[in-house]
Amino acid sequence: MTDHAIISETLLCEIKDQIATVTINRPQVLNALSIQVFTDLEHVFTQLAKDPDVRVILLTGAGEKAFAAGADIKELVETTRITGQSLSRRGHRIFRQIETCGKPVLALINGFALGGGCELALACTLRIAADSAKLGQPEARLGLIPGYGGTQRLPRLIGQSAALKLLLTGERIDAAEALRLGLVDEVVPLAELYLRGQQLASSILAMAPLAVAGCLEAVYKGADRDLDSALGIESRIFGRLSATADKAEGIRAFLEKHTPIWTGK
Ligand code: HXC
């Protein structure tokens, strides 16, 4: 295992002890998601997906004020029907790439997660919020709707009417309300956010790598299928894992009362 970094213009990405920390680094504009951020996310997540030294990804924003305050509004001034649609489609592609990269991505929401910033968090596997975080989908105030998956992922996560309330009012909610709605999974003091992300990452690292990937694959592939075909996906993955060396190791370790040593095979 080697610790290293991936260099890009708007993101910091450090890899240490199998955990990659990706930080959106535009604090002067509250980490607004410019076209360049998208280009960099695409590049970094392509690298992280195939990097054998990476098993869990933490995604956060630089500074103490924002995770990401949405799409870069200055870049929305000139959009037309055609360019607006293609901007949205590009965002869909990249957020889907993050969602299906095969490794857990934990959003550490360190402040504002608004508009596209909230949508980015929605595309992550889990969302841990600082107690100071504020979340919302204010796009209708700009004459728009969320264009990076928010109208689809938000109701799937928190239910249709809770989602519509956020979409139609543009209200910003605090971390406690986001937790109550199931929009975030945990709330911790800001000073403990990164530590909690690392603790969760460590718990995931203790699991068999192929099993972690199998959980992600089963949940995401099954999500929009009917129950019978989704159960078929589950049993195919279960069968595949049943024949792995790590399954033999996990069962043996339990029976012999020792800690398993994973090979990822
Ligand atoms: C560009 C932004 C920005 C954004 C903040 N800034 N959000 N720049 N795009 N989304 C800039 C401000 O212009 C300002 O720059 C600096 O960051 C600090 O922000 P302030 O507004 O001065 O801070 P504050 O008063 O604390 O207010 C924070 C805030 C507010 C409540 C988060 O900045 C805000 O409402 N931002 C916009 C949130 C939003 O509407 N997001 C949705 C975007 S649309 P200067 O140069 O003045 O110092 C979207 C659609 C996605 O996401 C889908 C597209 C297909």
pLDDT tens digits, 151-194: 999 999 999 999 999 999 999 999 999 999 999 999 999 999 99
The number of distinct structural domains making up the chain is 2
pTM comes to: 0.98
Query: Using an 8 Å Cβ cutoff, are 10 and 25 in contact?
Result: yes
pLDDT confidence of residue 1:
63
**DSSP category for residue 257:** T
Same domain assignment for residues 131 and 243: no
Same domain assignment for residues 119 and 240: no
Mean pLDDT of the chain: 97
Same domain assignment for residues 55 and 145: yes
Is the beta carbon of 71 within 6 A of some atom in ligand 1? yes
Number of H helices, E strands in the chain: 10, 11
> Does residue 7 surpass a pLDDT of 90?
no
Tell whether 118 is covered by a domain.
yes
Tell whether 57 is covered by a domain.
yes
Tell whether 264 is covered by a domain.
no
Neighbouring-strand partners of residue 33: 71
Is the beta carbon of 70 within 6 A of some atom in ligand 1? yes
**DSSP category for residue 192:** G
13 burial via Cβ count (<10 Å: 0-12, 13-18, 19+): buried
Same domain assignment for residues 160 and 250: no
Name residue, tokens 């595309």. 123
pLDDT in tens, 103-159: 999 999 999 999 999 999 999 999 999 999 999 999 999 999 999 999 999 999 999
| Residue 155 vs residues 106, 134, 159, 220: alpha-carbon distances, Å | 20, 18, 4, 16
* Domain CATH code at residue 246: 1.10.12.10
Is the beta carbon of 138 within 6 A of some atom in ligand 1? yes
Query: Using an 8 Å Cβ cutoff, are 73 and 34 in contact?
Result: no
* Domain CATH code at residue 190: 3.90.226.10
Nearest-CA residue for atom 9 of ligand 1: 72
CA distance 72 to 91: 13
Which residue in 60, 55, 50 sits closest to 13, CA to CA? 60
Same domain assignment for residues 85 and 71: yes
Tell whether 132 is covered by a domain.
yes
Query: What is the CA(263)–ligand 1 centre distance, in A?
Result: 45
**Pocket residue to mutate for ligand 1, from 29, 30, 112, most atoms within 8 A of Cβ:** 30
215: its two tokens:
């959980």
CA distance 261 to 206: 9
Query: Using an 8 Å Cβ cutoff, are 137 and 150 in contact?
Result: yes
Tell whether 261 is covered by a domain.
no
List Cβ neighbours of 53 (8 Å cut-off, separation of 6 or more).
Answer: 1, 2, 3, 4, 15, 18
Same domain assignment for residues 200 and 220: no
Query: How many Cβ atoms from other residues are within 10 Å of residue 81's Cβ?
Result: 7
> Does residue 226 surpass a pLDDT of 70?
yes
Same domain assignment for residues 216 and 185: no
CA distance 157 to 182: 7
Same domain assignment for residues 157 and 241: no
**Pocket residue to mutate for ligand 1, from 73, 89, 135, 166, most atoms within 8 A of Cβ:** 73
Query: What is the CA(214)–ligand 1 centre distance, in A?
Result: 38
Same domain assignment for residues 36 and 148: yes
Which residue in 121, 236, 225 sits closest to 173, CA to CA? 121
List Cβ neighbours of 17 (8 Å cut-off, separation of 6 or more).
Answer: 1, 3
Mean pLDDT of 62-79: 97
Looking at 167, 184, 205, the residue that finishes a domain is 205
Same domain assignment for residues 127 and 226: no
Query: What share of the chain has pLDDT > 90, as a percent?
Result: 97
Query: Which amino acid is it at 146?
Result: P
pLDDT confidence of residue 254:
98
Tell whether 220 is covered by a domain.
yes
CA distance 46 to 40: 10
> Does residue 224 surpass a pLDDT of 90?
no
Same domain assignment for residues 65 and 165: yes
Domain boundaries, position 19: 4-205
Query: What share of the chain has pLDDT > 70, as a percent?
Result: 100
Query: What is the CA(19)–ligand 1 centre distance, in A?
Result: 30
Is the beta carbon of 140 within 6 A of some atom in ligand 1? no
